[in-house]
Amino acid sequence: MHIEIRGAERLSFRERQVVVLKEMGKSSAEIARTLKITTSTVATLYNRARSKGYEVIIVLPGDTLGIFEGEDDIDESEPQ
């Protein structure tokens, strides 16, 4: 899995850190411990980043979803 943040140039370094950790599924408490800041600072940074309008794109290889396995078995002429 690859995470791409479009509009990251509008975010501060600290905002980018918080956004990436949030998108990885970390809680505010985990992020606070990791970055050695308070949970309220995490919330402030995350809300500030969201207001700047970034967009997160998650790029998954096709085989991760299992959509390319057994393609030959599917008859596209028949509805499923």
Mean per-residue pLDDT, 47-54 = 94
Strand partners, 23: none
Crossing angle of helices 13-23 and 39-51, in 10° steps, is 100
Q: How far apart are CA 53 and CA 7, in angstroms?
A: 7
Q: What is the DSSP letter of 71?
A: G
CATH number at residue 54: 1.10.10
Q: Is 9 among the domain residues?
A: yes
Under 8 Å between Cβ of 4 and 57: yes
What whole-number percentage of the chain has pLDDT above 70?
A: 72
Q: Is the pLDDT of residue 19 over 80?
A: yes
pTM value?
Answer: 0.69
What whole-number percentage of the chain has pLDDT above 90?
A: 52
Q: Is 49 among the domain residues?
A: yes
The parent domain of residue 26 ranges over 2-60
pLDDT band of 46, cuts 50, 70, 90 = very high
Residue bearing tokens 């096709």: 62
Q: Is the pLDDT of residue 39 over 90?
A: yes
Q: Is 76 among the domain residues?
A: no
Cα of first residue to Cα of last residue in the chain, in angstroms, is 29
Q: Is 70 among the domain residues?
A: no
Q: Is 71 among the domain residues?
A: no
